[in-house]
C-alpha cells in the first residue's frame, strides 16, 4: 500500500492537486535543510522529495548541482539522509521520498537501504537514473518493505515503455515535463500535457509533473491535467538566496497554485 498515493488523492479531492517540493539534504547545512523541509510542509507542500547529494548528478541543472556540490564539500554522508528523514517525519506528517542516483544505493546495499529508509519513516525512492529494466533488486526490496518507488517517464518514451513504467511505479509516476535537466523555465512544455495524457491511457493512477516548474501559475496550469506538480530548483534557489524563511515563503506562494480556480 502506497504512502504517497493517498495524500495525492486527498489533495486532488480537496484542491486541484498535490504540491511536491524538492530540497537536497545537507544544503546549506544538515540542520538548515531539515528546517527548510519542515518549513515547506508548514507552508503547503504536500509531499517532500529529499535529494541525496551525489558526485555525478547527470539529471540536474546548475542550481541543484551547485547546492549538492556544496553539501558534499560540507561533508554530506548517506547516513545524514536517513537522519534528515527521521527528524522531518518526527515534526510534520507529509510523506518524505528520497531522490537518489543509483550508485549510492548499490554501495549501501539495496536491501539495507530499503530497511533503513523504512525504519527512518521514509515513504520511498525517486530514482532518476534507474529504469525499471535495471531495477529488479529495488522492486523486490520495495515490495518487501512497502516503500513507494517512483520511476520517471519522458516525452520520448514509447507507449510500451510508459506501460512498463506505470506497472513498475508505486506512489506516482514522475512525468519529465520537457527534454532536459532540472531548472526553472519560462514555459512548461506542452509536451508535459501530452505525456500525462499518454500515462493516463497507460493506466497511471497518478502522474506528477516535474522539471521546469517555478511559479504558482505553472503549478495551477500543471494541476489542470496532472495529479501533482513538482518544484525543485526554484525552492533551492530561494533557500540559497534567502534562507529558510524565503523557501517557506515561496512554498506558500506555490501552494496558491493548488487552490486557484
Partner 1 sequence: MALRAQTGPYFGDFGGRFVPESLIAALDELGEAYDLAKADPAFAEELAELGRSYTGRPSIITEVPRFAAHGGGARIILKREDLNHTGSHKINNVLGQALLTKRIGKTRVIAETGAGQHGVATATAAALFDLDCTIYMGEVDTERQALNVARMRLLGAEVIAVKSGSRTLKDAINDAMRDWVTNVETTNYIFGTVAGPHPFPEMVRDFQKIIGEEARQQVLDLTGSLPTAVVACVGGGSNAIGLFHAFLDDADVKIVGFEAGGEGAETPRHAATITKGRPGVLHGAKSYMLQDEDGQTIESHSISAGLDYPGVGPEHSWLASIGRAEYRPVTDDAAMQALRLLTRTEGIIPAIESAHALAGALELARELGPEATILVNLSGRGDKDMDTAARYFELYDQENPK
Beta bridge partners of 209: 175, 229
Q: Kindly state the smallest distance separating residue 101's Cβ from partner 1, in Å.
A: 8
CB-CB contact of 67 with 240 (8 Å): yes
Of the two residues 183 and 216, which places its CB atom closer to partner 1 in the complex?
183
Among 73, 90, 134, 136, binds partner 1 (CB under 8 A): 134
Which residue is catalytic, options 35, 46, 60, 148?
60
Number of helices followed by number of strands (H, E) in the chain: 11, 9
Cite the DSSP H helix spans in the chain.
4-14, 30-42, 62-73, 78-91, 102-108, 110-120, 136-145, 159-168, 190-201, 216-223, 233-256
Q: Kindly state the smallest distance separating residue 204's Cβ from partner 1, in Å.
A: 14
CB-CB contact of 243 with 24 (8 Å): no
> What is the Cα–Cα distance from 41 to 88, expressed in whole angstroms?
10
| Terminal Cα-to-Cα distance of the chain (whole angstroms) | 32
CB-CB contact of 198 with 210 (8 Å): no
Is the N-terminal amide bond of 28 cis, ω within 30° of 0?
yes
Q: Kindly state the smallest distance separating residue 252's Cβ from partner 1, in Å.
A: 31
> Segment near partner 1 (CB under 8 A), from 8-16, 174-182, 220-228, 249-257?
174-182
Q: Kindly state the smallest distance separating residue 92's Cβ from partner 1, in Å.
A: 27
- 138 binds partner 1, rule: CB under 8 A: no
Among 10, 31, 90, 106, binds partner 1 (CB under 8 A): 106
Query: Per CB under 8 A, which of residues 30..89 are in contact with partner 1?
Result: 54-59, 61-62, 65, 69, 72, 77-78
**What Rg value do the Cα atoms of the chain yield, rounded?**
16
Among 115, 129, 200, 205, binds partner 1 (CB under 8 A): 129
The question of whether 49 is a catalytic residue gets the answer yes
Q: What are the φ and ψ backbone dihedral angles of 48, each rounded to 5 degrees?
A: -100, 140
Residue 175, H or E segment:
strand 173-176
Of the two residues 72 and 252, which places its CB atom closer to partner 1 in the complex?
72
> Segment near partner 1 (CB under 8 A), from 31-39, 90-98, 156-164, 214-222?
156-164
Cα 127 off chain centre by: 9
Of the two residues 228 and 257, which places its CB atom closer to partner 1 in the complex?
228
Report the interface residues with partner 1, using CB under 8 A.
Answer: 54-59, 61-62, 65, 69, 72, 77-78, 102-108, 128-131, 133-134, 151-158, 161, 165, 176, 179-181
Q: Known catalytic residues?
A: 49, 60
Amino acid at each position: 500500500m502506497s504512502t504517497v498515493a493517498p495524500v495525492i488523492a486527498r489533495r486532488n479531492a480537496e484542491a486541484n492537486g498535490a504540491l511536491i517540493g524538492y530540497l537536497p539534504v545537507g544544503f546549506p547545512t544538515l540542520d538548515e535543510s531539515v528546517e527548510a523541509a519542515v518549513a515547506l510542509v508548514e507552508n503547503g507542500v504536500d509531499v517532500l522529495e529529499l535529494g541525496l547529494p551525489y558526485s555525478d548528478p547527470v539529471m540536474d541543472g546548475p542550481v541543484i548541482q551547485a547546492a549538492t556540490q556544496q553539501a558534499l564539500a560540507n561533508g554530506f554522508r548517506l547516513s545524514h539522509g536517513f537522519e534528515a528523514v527521521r527528524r522531518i517525519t518526527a515534526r510534520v506528517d507529509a510523506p518524505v521520498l528520497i531522490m537518489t542516483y543509483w550508485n549510492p544505493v548499490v554501495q549501501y546495499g539495496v536491501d539495507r537501504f530499503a530497511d533503513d529508509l523504512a525504519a527512518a519513516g521514509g515513504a520511498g525512492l525517486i530514482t532518476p537514473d534507474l529504469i525499471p529494466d535495471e531495477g529488479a533488486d529495488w522492486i523486490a526490496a520495495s515490495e518487501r518493505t512497502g516503500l513507494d518507488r517512483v520511476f520517471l517517464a519522458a516525452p520520448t518514451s514509447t507507449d510500451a515503455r510508459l506501460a512498463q513504467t506505470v506497472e513498475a511505479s508505486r506512489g506516482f509516476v514522475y512525468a519529465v515535463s520537457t527534454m532536459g535537466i532540472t531548472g526553472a523555465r519560462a514555459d512548461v512544455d506542452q509536451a508535459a500535457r501530452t505525456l500525462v495524457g499518454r500515462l493516463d491511457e497507460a493506466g497511471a493512477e497518478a502522474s506528477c509533473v516535474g522539471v521546469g516548474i517555478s511559479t504558482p501559475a505553472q503549478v495551477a496550469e500543471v494541476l489542470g491535467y496532472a495529479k501533482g506538480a513538482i518544484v525543485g530548483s526554484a525552492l533551492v534557489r530561494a533557500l540559497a538566496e534567502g534562507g529558510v524563511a524565503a523557501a517557506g515563503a515561496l512554498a506558500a506562494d506555490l501552494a496558491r497554485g493548488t487552490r486557484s480556480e
